[in-house]
Amino acid sequence: MFAEVTPHRSDEKYDRADDVVVAVVGERKIEMRWADDSHLFVDYGCNEDDVRLRVTKKGMTTVSYK
């Protein structure tokens, strides 16, 4: 089981695997906040060994992690 983050506009379909920016093993509490329209901050609170995917740029969006 993976926990995944897929940023998208509220009026767009969101189940596209190509849009995932982070995937971590297991069920996790993932906190996110937008700094502005193109910067997303994600706190996934797990060890780096549990991270299976982490993207820092997706289209016009820059993603930062904690």
Domain ranges of the chain: 2-65
Give the separation between CA 12 and CA 46, rounded to whole angstroms: 29
Which pLDDT value is given to residue 15?
A: 66
Q: Is the pLDDT of residue 64 over 90?
A: yes
* Strand 51-54 with 22-25, pairing: antiparallel
Q: What is the pLDDT of residues 6-59, one digit of tens each?
A: 887 778 776 677 888 999 998 888 899 999 989 999 998 888 899 999 999 988
Give the separation between CA 9 and CA 53, rounded to whole angstroms: 21
Under 8 Å between Cβ of 61 and 41: no
**Residue 56 CB neighbour total at 10 angstroms:** 11
Region 60-64 average pLDDT: 92
Which pLDDT value is given to residue 36?
A: 93
Which pLDDT value is given to residue 7?
A: 81
Burial class (CB in 10 A: 0-12, 13-18, 19+), 41: middle
